[in-house]
């Protein structure tokens, strides 16, 4: 795709051509700078689950109410985790996050950790992107407007609409774009399991949270047995000039 060709040009062509202002190639300048200043391994941040959780988006409010029997509501959808059965957390607000590339799951912060919550219509929304869901909601609004009826967007209406996505050109085109973007992301993070960091940071929200039991999806990594970081295995994303 386009990403492959751009990467080929940037790192195989441009980086190896002599630059008029530099008097040498950009790659040579970059290599010489690393030799003079070092690689600053103490500044490396591991691209792991802690990092992903810290950078996942939240809702405009940042929190969601745990409703008895149904769970939390994020972007029109309800999500559930068995930790919500605890009477102590019912009807309390908790920080929430979601994966914009997989609307089948969301995350709630309980008892000092993030727990994974499953969508009410998981089989339909798994692997669907946030943009797809928002487009589906907009298509439903437009349809109701044409029919002069009030709009009530529910998880079921969204699930039914997405299930018949082949009939909707707008949603299908967005699906193709998102799949292409996801393939680029997977290419960038193909070496995720090989990357370690000398500095580990656990992301914890600032606000106090009610306690309950839940599935831990973001754990503190132990500092022992940390392997030396091999920068040659890192996926190239961008270089600072």
DSSP string, 107-123: EEEETTEEEEEEETTHH
Beta sheet of 77-80, edge-to-edge order = 63-65, 93-99, 102-110, 113-119, 77-80, 72-74
Cα-based angle 208, 212, 213 (whole degrees, multiple of 5): 135
Cα separation, 106 vs 74, in Å, equals: 8
Pairing status of strand 77-80 against strand 113-119 = antiparallel
**What is the number of other CB atoms lying within 10 angstroms of the CB of residue 160?**
14
The band of 90, judged by pLDDT with boundaries at 50, 70 and 90, is very high
* Total residue length of the chain: 241
| Token pair recorded at residue 118 | 């499953």
| Token pair recorded at residue 79 | 């999500």
How do residues 23-82 score in pLDDT, each as one tens digit?
999 999 999 999 998 888 888 888 899 999 999 999 999 999 999 999 999 998 999 999
Percent of the chain whose predicted confidence (pLDDT) is above 70: 68
Query: What's the pLDDT at 214?
Result: 46
Average pLDDT, the chain: 79
Q: Backbone phi, then psi, for 110, in 5-degree steps?
A: -130, 135
Asked if residues 34 and 44 have their Cβ atoms less than 8 Å apart, the reply is: no
| Residues sharing a CB contact under 8 Å with residue 50, sequence separation 6 or more, in sequence order | 200, 201, 202, 203, 218, 221
Cα separation, 133 vs 162, in Å, equals: 8
The band of 160, judged by pLDDT with boundaries at 50, 70 and 90, is confident
Q: Backbone phi, then psi, for 60, in 5-degree steps?
A: -55, -35
Asked if residues 126 and 109 have their Cβ atoms less than 8 Å apart, the reply is: no
98-129 burial string, b = 16+ CB within 10 Å, else e? bbebbbbbbbbbbbebbbbbbbbbeebbeebb
């Amino acid at each position: 795709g386009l990403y492959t060709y751009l990467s080929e040009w940037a790192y195989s062509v441009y980086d190896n051509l002599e630059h008029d202002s530099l008097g040498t190639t950009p790659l040579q300048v970059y290599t010489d700078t690393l030799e003079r200043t070092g690689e600053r391994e103490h500044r490396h941040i591991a691209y792991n689950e802690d990092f992903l959780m810290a950078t996942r988006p939240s809702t405009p409010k940042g929190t969601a109410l745990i409703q008895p029997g149904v769970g939390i509501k994020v972007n029109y959808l309800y999500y559930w985790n068995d930790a919500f059965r605890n009477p102590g957390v019912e009807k309390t607000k908790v920080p929430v996050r979601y994966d914009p590339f997989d609307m089948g799951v969301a995350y709630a912060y309980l008892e000092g950790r993030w727990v994974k919550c499953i969508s009410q219509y998981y089989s339909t929304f798994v692997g669907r992107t946030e943009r797809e869901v928002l487009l589906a909601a907009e298509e439903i609004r437009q349809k109701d407007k044409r029919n002069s009826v009030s709009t009530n967007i529910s998880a079921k209406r969204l699930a039914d609409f997405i299930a018949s996505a082949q009939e909707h050109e707008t949603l299908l085109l967005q699906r193709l774009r998102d799949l292409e973007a996801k393939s680029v992301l997977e290419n960038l993070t193909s070496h995720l399991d090989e990357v370690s960091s000398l500095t580990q940071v656990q992301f914890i929200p600032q606000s106090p949270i009610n306690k309950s039991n839940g599935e831990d999806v973001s754990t503190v990594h132990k500092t022992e047995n940390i392997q030396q970081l091999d920068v040659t295995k890192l996926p190239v994303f961008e270089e600072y000039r």
